[in-house]
Amino acid sequence: MVDIVIQLLPHVLAALIYGALGFHFWNTRWRERENQCVACPMQGWERALIALALVIHAFGLYGGLFTEVGMRFSFSFALSLMMWLAVLIYWLESFMSRMEGMQPMVLPLAAICTLLPVIFPQVHLVAHASATGFKLHFLAAMLAYSLLTLSALHAIFMGFTESALHKHSLKRSLSSLPPLLTMESLLFRMLLIGFALLTLTVGSGLLFSEALFGKPLTLDHKTLFAFASWGIFATLLVGRHAWGWRGKRALHWTLAGFALLILAYIGSRFVAEVILGRL
C-alpha cells in the first residue's frame, strides 16, 4: 500500500502545481479586472515552478512506465505523457515568443491528464519494448502526438481570436494571447515538425512492423485512422505552401487530423481498457 502511494504521489503533486499555476495565470492574465497587465511577461519564478512540475511529472511517468518486469503503458499514461511533452515544448517556446496567454488553458489540461494514471491505473506490458527500434518508434510517436496536440490548442485559440477581432469583441482572455501572426507562424512550425515525426512513426510501423511488434502490419481501425490523419496533415501543409491556407480552413483541417490521430490510439485503448476491461 505504501509503495502504491509513493508511486502515485508525483502524479498528484505535479497535478496540484499545474492546477495552481493555471489558476494563477488566469487570475493575472485573463481575469476581467482593472489595473492588471493584459500581457505581463512571464516571471522567473513562474518559469521555475513550471520546470519543477515538469521534473516531478517526469519522475512519476518514468516510475510508472519502466519497471523491473518491463515497460508498461495505457491510454492514461499516453495522455499524461503527451501533455508532459506538450507543456515542455510550450515552456521552451516561451523563451522565444510571448506565450503567457496560453498558460491558463494548457496548464489545467496538463493537471487533468497528469491525474489520469491515478484515476485509471490499469496498465499492460508492452512487448518488444527493449528493442532499440521500438524505442525510437515510441519516442517519435509521442513527440508527434504532443506537437500535434499543442497545434490543436493553438488552432482553437487562433479561431477564437480571429472571430473576436472580426466582431470587435476582444476580451481580456483573448487579448492576452500572443499576436495572431505569431501564433499562426508557431502553429505551422509545430505542424511541420509534428508531421515529420508522424511520417517517421507511420513509416517505421509500416516498413518494420514485424521487427517492432512481432507481427505483420494489419489494416485495423487504428492503422486506418493513423493513415487518414497523416493524409489530412499532408494536405494542410501542401495547401499552406501552395495556396496560402490559413484562418478557419487551417483550423478545421488541424482539428480533423488531430481527432483522427487521437482515435488511432487513445480512443482504441480507452475502449479496450476502460469499457471492455482488456489490458
Among 97, 126, 155, residue at a domain's last position: 126
Domain assignment of residue 62, given as a range: 1-126
Q: What span, in angstroms and rounded, lies between the C-alpha atoms of 21 and 29?
A: 12
Average pLDDT of span 144-172: 77
Place of cell 483550423: 251
Q: Which of 65 and 169 is assigned the larger pLDDT?
A: 65
Average pLDDT of span 220-239: 88
pTM for the whole structure: 0.77
Q: What are phi and psi of 168, to 5 degrees?
A: 55, 40
Predicted local distance difference test score (pLDDT) of residue 93: 81
Among 65, 97, 126, residue at a domain's last position: 126
| Same domain? 192 vs 217 | yes
- When pLDDT is cut at 50, 70 and 90, the band that residue 193 belongs to is very high
Q: What span, in angstroms and rounded, lies between the C-alpha atoms of 188 and 36?
A: 31
Q: How many CA atoms lie within 13 A of 139 on its CB side?
A: 6
Predicted local distance difference test score (pLDDT) of residue 224: 82
Average pLDDT of span 84-108: 83
Place of cell 497523416: 230
Helix, strand, coil percent values for the chain (each to nearest 5): 75, 5, 20
Predicted local distance difference test score (pLDDT) of residue 128: 66
Asked whether 105 and 153 are in contact (CB, 8 A), the reply is yes
Note the pLDDT tens digit of each residue in 203-225.
877 776 655 555 666 666 777 88
Residue 219: CB atoms within 10 Å: 8
Number of domains in the chain: 2
Note the pLDDT tens digit of each residue in 40-70.
778 889 999 999 999 999 999 988 887 777 7
| Same domain? 189 vs 88 | no
Asked whether 249 and 267 are in contact (CB, 8 A), the reply is no
